[in-house]
Structure 1
Amino acid sequence: MKAKKWMSSVLIAGAVLTLASAAQAHVNVYPKETTTGAYEKYTVRVPVEKDVNTTKVRLEFPADVKVSTVQPIPGWSYEFEKDKDGKNTALVWTATDGGIRPHEFMEFAFVGANPKEAGTLSWKAYQTYANGEVVEWTGAPDSKTPASVTTVKAGAGEAGHDHGQAATAAPAADTAAPAGGSNTLPLVLSGLALLLSIVSLFRKKA
């Protein structure tokens, strides 16, 4: 009986870690938290989940975010999409040298002026593969292809005109995209803590 409980707990902990890894396979926009009125550097992390190269990435901007500055990347061209009033509404990055290969990821950066009101920003992304397949990262948070979400908290400053400079600094932990898989660290630690608790409980009952 104790052995069954032990195995069940291990499977639950494993599921937690698996979900953490799966979340990182999605197209994500960082930081996940920022402040109102700031000029924020946003980074789009694009992993390749299939056995074929990613050759195009399209990102739609939330209506209240103004974007006019993008970081160039070797091997990729970019183009802004505009509405009838000339406002930038999306960015499209297109590979000029093969794209992102399987089991790799790339990050695309731009600067956006945050809205003056607190709330959430939903980033709709479209990932195109070399075989023509398009994965639409536009769904709800609990869907298989969720849109990335950034929380905007109240800040003291407003976005200025010096592109690339934040009028109000975002929290240090979220200023840039986490390096490698560090974004999974909290969930991994939680899983390990759960395992240690189970081991301790098992030893006491043994």
Structure 2
Amino acid sequence: MSFVRRAATVIAAATALTAGLALPALAHVTIQPGSAEQGGFTKVAFRVPNERDNASTVKVEVSFPTDHPLAFVSVKPVPGWDVKVTEGKLPKPVQTEYGELDEAVTKVVWSGGKINPGEFQEFEVSMGKLPTDTDTLTFPTKQTYSGGEVVDWADPAKADGTEAEHPAPTLKLVPAGGDDAHGSAASASASAAPAAATPSVSPVAASSSASDGTARLLGGAGLVVGVIGIVVGALGLRRRPTS
């Protein structure tokens, strides 16, 4: 019996490990891609998954940084959703190459649409110029569900490197030409001209992202089945009568 108990413990641990590997990639509101070059323009998508089984996401509110404001922000229409871009006074005027900036986009709100359980949506934004005096920009986001629940994705990164419960979407900024600038292609194609802030018409590959999530889940399930097979085989060998 002790061997059976140990086998059950192994299976439970494998299941927990599989869930840990598969779920985080689908669980949080994130910004995609996660990095861009300093001093340029970029296009990003705020990826919002629906985490509830009994409610739909009906509103997404993204706050833009005011300590490092962005002079040019434009949004790509999302079918079925209304969008409102809010500009406001900055706490302190910021000097830019275009002159002193005392107002900037402080908030973008998408509403009127619906993200059903088991689905996600991406909201694309073109913005710039990105600052050169910081290595991160955070975009606290509020996700409202049809039942009235509001999830505030605004927790800062922890000093010990572990993930916060509700981390704020964060864009990493790297020096121009940096090797880890995954958003460098978008930044390079958008030159320093303000007109480059116009959002690209190429859609984000949502179907590919969904396939990636499915592959992770199937791979995790395969891991559990493999562990179960090993345990069953070991039980069979243990019970085989000796000659």
Please give the TM-score of this superposition, normalised by the length of structure 2.
0.63
Any unmatched runs of 5+ in structure 1? 167-174
Match 2:126 to one of 108, 111, 118: 111
Equivalence map 1:114-133=2 (5 Å): 114-133=130-149
Alignment of 1:148-187 (within 5 A): 148-156=169-177, 160-161=192-193, 162-164=196-198, 179-180=209-210, 182=212
Determine the structure 1 residue equivalent to 2:94.
Answer: none
Mapped pair 1:73 → 2:78? yes
**Conserved 8 A contact 2:75-2:199:** no
Given that residues 117 and 154 in structure 1 are in contact (C-alpha distance below 8 angstroms), is that contact kept between their aligned partners in structure 2?
A: no
Question: Quick one: structure 1 residues 22 and 154, their matched pair in 2 at CA, closer, same or farther if it must change by over 3 Å?
Answer: same
The 5 A counterparts of 1:57-96 are 57-62=60-65, 63-66=67-70, 67-84=72-89, 85-95=102-112
Residue 30 of structure 1 deviates from its aligned partner by: 0.9
Tell me the residue number matched to 1:28.
30
Q: Secondary structure at the match of 1:131?
A: coil
Distance 1:73 1:165, change over 3 A: closer
Could you list the structure 1 runs, at least 4 aligned residues long, displaced by more than 6 angstroms after superposition: 1-6, 175-178, 183-193
Partner of residue 166, structure 2: 145
CA distance in 1, matches of 2:115, 2:173: 30
State the alpha-carbon separation in 1 of the partners of residues 119 and 59 from structure 2: 14
C-alpha separation between the residues in 1 aligned to 2:30 and 2:115? 16
Percent of pairs identical after alignment?
27
Quick one: structure 1 residues 176 and 122, their matched pair in 2 at CA, closer, same or farther if it must change by over 3 Å? farther
Question: Is the Cα contact below 8 Å between 2:56 and 2:115 reproduced in 1?
Answer: yes
* Shift of residue 186, structure 1, vs aligned partner: 8.7
**What stretches of structure 2 of length at least 5 have no aligned partner?**
90-101, 158-162, 178-186, 239-243
Q: Is the 8 A contact 2:125 2:199 kept in 1?
A: no
Q: CA deviation at 1:111?
A: 0.8
Give aligned pairs, total: 194
- Is 1:53–1:99's contact at 8 Å kept on the other side of the alignment? yes
Question: Match of 1:171?
Answer: none
Bigger helix fraction: 2
Partners of 1:118 and 1:154 within 8 A in 2: no
Deviation at 1:155, TM superposition (A): 1.0
187 and 104 in structure 1: CA distance in 2 versus 1, 3 angstrom threshold: closer
How many Å separate the matches in 2 of 1:179 and 1:65?
30
Superposed counterparts of 1:11-22, under 5 Å: 11-22=12-23
Give TM-score, length-normalised by structure 1: 0.72
Larger Rg: 2
**Correspondent of 2:58 among 41, 47, 55:** 55
